[in-house]
Structure 1
Amino acid sequence: MLTQEVTHYIRDFVAPRAAPVLSLYLDVNPANPDNQGKAYLLRAREAIAATQAPPEVGKKVLEALEQSPPQARSRVVFAAQGWMEAYDLQVELPLVQGAEARWGEPYLTPILYMLDEYERVGVVYIDSEKWRMFEVFLGEVEELPGAFRAVGPQEWKQLTQDSPGRRYAQGGVHRAAADTDRFQRRLEAWTHRFYKRLTTLLEQTVNERSIQRLVLMGPKAEVEVFKELLPRRLRERVVATLPSLPTPSAQAGEVLKRVQEVLEPLERERENKLLDELVERGVGGLDQTLELLQQGALYLLVAPWNPQGRVYRAPDGWVSSNPAAAQAHGADQPEEVELKRVLPELVAAYGTRLEFVRGPAEARLHKELGGLAGLPRW
């Protein structure tokens, strides 16, 4: 998994690394028919050859691809003389024809896109014998055995004997759902304190690992009780509640599969609601959006998953789709650059949040808002 430590390493050490660096992004998904027979090797070779990277650097990258075939959807490589970093990812990247290579400053735009598109999701698996927690990120899952480690075996045993499901057995889970406002009064004092303790342990893990969303999985009565006892700052992060898997000792891969079935539709629904808001009160169009962004007037910038086109950057950093407008900010000739390369730099400079949309929302962004849009600060 691309852990927080690896993410920080990329931002803090790879990004500022002195040029020149070879940056390679490659679609290696074995399910893609275009990758049959390791066709990605040919695309990688052609992409690297189109740069000015020294032959020995390119050779080292290609040899690594041949010697250790990726078991992933994408591979990201940064390489220079005597140095190479490679990352295999279980997600797709916004690539043109399956490969992009650059020689010069470290090219981080695709991986920054990815880090923005995907949020860390915590899954609390509520089981009768012991609670478990997982982190889902970038198509991978990791069990976090330390999340509830402070709870001893005897405490789990006592919780099992006094579970909300047992207590509401006569009335059924529907009665439990109807009596939500009475949950705290009907829970025994020990159980109530214990659930509160679990919420504290959960919040510690959420903060330590920068988890943005939560999924609660388990018996309906227990899940509803626990959700009601969460502090609002955590309860607002719960995006789904799911029933238990067939076996309490489910493998991490089973949890990942079940959660992904729910998260993808939720994300697309959220993006379409965002497009509704942009149409109602946002600004759209490349020129207007870029201008307001650089005036500090936008708190959110929304871009397509794979933005196309080029813009002009003046010596003072001002960016415009019009070369004359860019030149007005400096006597020198403006530099022509790819739009998708400058967007992360611009939002960082102006304290604006950047979000990417794809699928139906991306199509709407192009059709209804000119391919780039934002929400004003005021």
Structure 2
Amino acid sequence: MALENELQYLNDFKSTDGNSVLTVYLNTDPANPDQQKGEWKIRLKNGLNRIQEYLDASSDEAEKKQYKKLKKKIDDEIERNRTELQKGVIIFASDEEDLWSVHYLQIPVKTSFHWERHPVLDQISELQQQYPRSGVILPNQDEVKVIDTELGIINDERTYHFDPGSEDWTFKDGLASSDRTASGATHVDKIQQRFEENRHRFYKKMAGNVDKLKKDRDWKEVHLVGEAEMIRSFETSLRTKPAGVVKKNLNKAEPKKVLEEVFN
């Protein structure tokens, strides 16, 4: 489910029959001075225990049982994914309609815990405004990589390759470079020379694909990442001015690393 649709669902979600929603915002950013020794584990334990203590003193057995079940589920989820932790975790959980929404983010959050009749959406809504759905474009000669992202979450990855025969761009899912082979070094040199001579025209075609993706995916922003010369050529072909530019060749970097460079 796209984040915008999920947020609408969560916003409309109202618990009935005495069930509540457990909302967890947990900062796990290892770069935070307060997180150097994994203090998030203590904050998670203390935050969940405080709600438990409140319920033990004021709630009926059914609600306490429901909370303990969700508390264990969250503990198990985070323990199982400890190696995947980045900078923040957001979880919405309820027995009602089996609500279970987990987001591992590359952006930090402010740690807080809530037990309410509805999901507490203030932080995730603010973060969506700060880190809207965006396209991150990595132009590199006759290959252009595209990352569709929101809240630092990767929704989609694809790589476009330029076909010198048809003078068009084709794509495949994922960012890994293809294993294209040429008949020899001279052949490769000729293709590269031809691309350099016609780079603006060829990039203009690719920019049309990016403009279409921006409309279809409802990107609020476009960011460019690559060597300065490639960025300049590609930027002049785009209809929309990029929200940000990172002048680094990250073509072989992991997508997470690319997003760190873009949004940090």
What TM-score results when the alignment is normalised by the length of structure 1? Answer: 0.51
Q: Does 1:114 align with 2:127?
A: yes
1:291 alignment partner in structure 2: none
Equivalent in 86, 93, 102 of residue 109 of structure 2: 93
Q: Map 1:36-47 to 2 at 5 A.
A: 37-47=41-51
- How many equivalent residue pairs? 223
Q: Does 1:19 align with 2:15?
A: yes
1:225 alignment partner in structure 2: 233
Structure 1, unaligned stretches of length 5 or more? 168-187, 265-378
Equivalent in 191, 194, 198 of residue 162 of structure 1: 194
Structure 2, unaligned stretches of length 5 or more? 170-187
Distance 1:109 1:259, change over 3 A: closer
Q: Does 1:127 align with 2:140?
A: yes
Distance 1:61 1:152, change over 3 A: farther
Secondary structure class of the residue paired with 1:203: helix
CA displacement at 1:205 relative to structure 2: 1.2
Q: Distance between the aligned counterparts of 1:205 and 1:48, measured in 2?
A: 46
Secondary structure class of the residue paired with 1:145: strand
1:286 alignment partner in structure 2: none
Paired AA for residue 12 in structure 2: P
Q: Deviations over 1:22-70 (max 9, x none)?
A: 1312325163257365541231131354365811221121111222225
Which structure has the bigger radius of gyration? 1
Q: Map 1:1-378 to 2 at 5 A.
A: 5-11=2-8, 13-20=9-16, 21-29=20-28, 31=30, 32=35, 33=37, 35=39, 37-47=41-51, 49-50=53-54, 54-69=63-78, 70=81, 71-72=85-86, 73-81=88-96, 83-90=98-105, 91-94=107-110, 98-141=111-154, 144-145=157-158, 148=160, 152=163, 154=165, 155=167, 160-164=192-196, 167=197, 188=198, 192-231=200-239, 234-235=240-241, 237-245=242-250, 248-260=251-263, 264=264
Q: Tell which has more relative contact order, 1 or 2 (C-alpha 8 A, sep 6+).
A: 2
Paired-residue identity, %: 14
Q: Deviations over 1:149-199 (max 9, x none)?
A: 7x54744778633234xx5xxxxxxxxxxxxxxxxxxxx5xx554322211
CA-atom RMSD in angstroms: 3.1
Paired AA for residue 127 in structure 2: M
> Is contact 1:195–1:229 with CA below 8 Å preserved after alignment?
yes
Q: Deviations over 1:103-135 (max 9, x none)?
A: 223332222122122223322111124111123
Q: Distance between the aligned counterparts of 1:19 and 1:5, measured in 2?
A: 22
Secondary structure class of the residue paired with 2:245: strand
Q: Distance between the aligned counterparts of 1:192 and 1:28, measured in 2?
A: 44
Distance 1:145 1:112, change over 3 A: same
CA displacement at 1:79 relative to structure 2: 0.7
Distance 1:48 1:77, change over 3 A: farther
Worse overlay, 137-146 or 210-219: 137-146
What TM-score results when the alignment is normalised by the length of structure 2? Answer: 0.69
